[in-house]
Chain A
Amino acid sequence: MASQPRRGGVSLPDRRAPKNTNPDGIITKLINAPIVSRGKQAACDAVYISKKLLRSTGKAAWIAGTTFLILVVPLIIEMDREQQLNELELQQASLLGAPPVNPTLPVPR
């Protein structure tokens, strides 16, 4: 039985006649049809590739995210702080009317 549909796959016109007489075999023939098996193969491949793609993009996103967290996030926070300090100083300057002397020196190396 297993060898028969494979033979049938080679010569399509022969298969057409017993297809009608044997309704039970339609599904099995359909399942074993080359187009179906190729489709199955394609689906399997697609799933495999998409899984791999998803995994690699996930990994890439993880690396990019952690790198961003290390390199850029502290920079943003510190720039924001600096901005706030500058604004505060500007406010104080406008309130007092005199340009303030900068008491804080940069961090020693």
Chain B
Amino acid sequence: MDVDPTKEVTHQTTSSCSTMAGLVPPGATINTDPSNAKSKEDEKVDYFNLPCPIPYEEIHREALMSLKPELFEGLRFDFTKGLNQKFSLSHSVFMGPIEVPSHQTTDALKVPTAHYEFGANYIDPKLMLIGRVLTDGRLSARVKCDLTDNLSLKANAQLTNEDHMSHGMINFDYKGKDYRSQFQFGNGALLGASYIQSVTPRLSLGGEVFWAGQHRKSGIGYAGRYETDKMVATGQVASTGMVALSYVQKLSEKVSLASDFMYNYMSRDVTASVGYDYILRQCRLRGKIDSNGCTAAYLEERLNMGLNFILSAEIDHRKKDYKFGFGLTVG
């Protein structure tokens, strides 16, 4: 047989059918090339030892990281002071316009504001407590607590001086060997559950159901995620009419390109965006452009140890909306 042994192995691995084994020359099975041996090993999937998938609400994590940086307008200054290993205090000042949705026009109104935020963090591997107080009266608290090795509790609460804007939510996350499930309880009779399961080492599929008693709405959603070393592709559909697809390609350790597509069946609006994410030694730079003609860039520059300089820019030519911000992060 004049078949190249490497070719034969790939052929054998792609078709796991046992009838092919008769055609394989004996030399091909004893393989010295490690890469071929590995690809063969990969093919034999142990379906009882699949990796644990990432949580359902984080399936778009990589795409969101690259495409949705925390863009802001104005000045911000953040200072974090660690009092000891676990406890730290944070102070931050923000000055600049923030957008408030107005009822008369579709465009958001810009209201100039300035506020100071005080925060306290307690971070321990088993318990995380984060609290924030703003000068305009908003208060938020977050708790993450590992009850057992597999079960963890997450709670979020926000209190404001406006009516119907305060909310709270409790999540129970259960992490299994190759699946994760989550139960959500929120105010306004919000109930939700999600489950995600690894189907193959690279593919995980999940679903969610939720019921909002206050608004008398319920929904169901499905999501899938395919992940290799070089790329991540995710897709999500929900009965609210939302379709979200994302794709992230890691060109190297430092560079990744991301794109996403969002479609809402109810409001019939579609947006697609592409962006890049560069993680260099002294900075991290993220840029994106979307189908609405909105361009944004976010630069985090490391000036010194524990001193970061942030530049944020967003240009929307269609709405003639230009947002530029700069900030410093200390600590």
Residues of A within 8 A of B (CB): 63, 66-67, 70-71, 74-75, 78-79, 81-82, 85, 102, 104, 106-107, 109
Contact = CB atoms under 8 A, between A and B. Distances in A.
Contacts of B109: none
A81 B283 CA distance: 10
Contact of B284 (A63, A79, A109): A109
Given A70-B313, A109-B65, A104 B284 contact: no
A84 to B, nearest CB: 10
Nearest to B299: A74
B280 A106 contact: yes
Given A71-B287, A78-B283, A109-B284, 16 more contacts: A66-B317, A67-B289, A70-B287, A71-B297, A74-B311, A78-B278, A78-B299, A81-B283, A85-B281, A102-B281, A104-B281, A104-B282, A106-B279, A106-B281, A106-B284, A109-B65
A5 B91 CA distance: 85
Which of A63, A106, A109 is packed against the most chain B CB atoms within 10 Å? Answer: A106
Given A74-B299, A75-B278, A107 B287 contact: no
A82 B65 CA distance: 22
User: Which 6 interchain pairs have the tightest Cβ spacing?
Assistant: A107-B284, A71-B287, A82-B280, A70-B297, A67-B295, A107-B302
Interface string B49-78: 000000000000000010000000000000
Contacts of A85: 281-282
B9 interface: no
Nearest to A73: B297
Nearest to A105: B281
A71 B289 contact: yes
Given A70-B295, A70-B297, A75 B281 contact: no
Which of B65, B297, B317 is packed against the most chain A CB atoms within 10 Å? Answer: B297
Nearest to B311: A74
A79 B280 CA distance: 8
Interface string B294-317: 011101111000001001010101
Contacts, number: 60
A71 B314 CA distance: 10
B279 A70 contact: no
Contacts of A107: 279, 282-284, 300-302, 308
How big is chain B's contact interface, by range? 20 to 34
A107 B306 CA distance: 10
Contacts of B285: 74-75, 78
Interface string B268-293: 00000000101111111101010001
Contacts of B289: 67, 71
A79 B252 CA distance: 14
21 contacts: A63-B293, A66-B317, A67-B315, A70-B287, A70-B295, A70-B296, A70-B297, A70-B315, A71-B297, A74-B299, A75-B287, A78-B280, A78-B299, A81-B283, A82-B281, A85-B281, A102-B281, A107-B282, A107-B284, A107-B308, A109-B65
A109 B310 CA distance: 12
Contacts of A82: 280-282
B291 to A, nearest CB: 14
A26 B5 CA distance: 95
A78 B296 CA distance: 17
Which of A63, A71, A109 is packed against the most chain B CB atoms within 10 Å? Answer: A71
A85 to B, nearest CB: 6
Nearest to B305: A104
Contacts of A102: 281
A43 B91 CA distance: 66
A63 to B, nearest CB: 5
A86 to B, nearest CB: 9
A22 B152 CA distance: 105
A75 B278 CA distance: 8
A67 B293 CA distance: 10
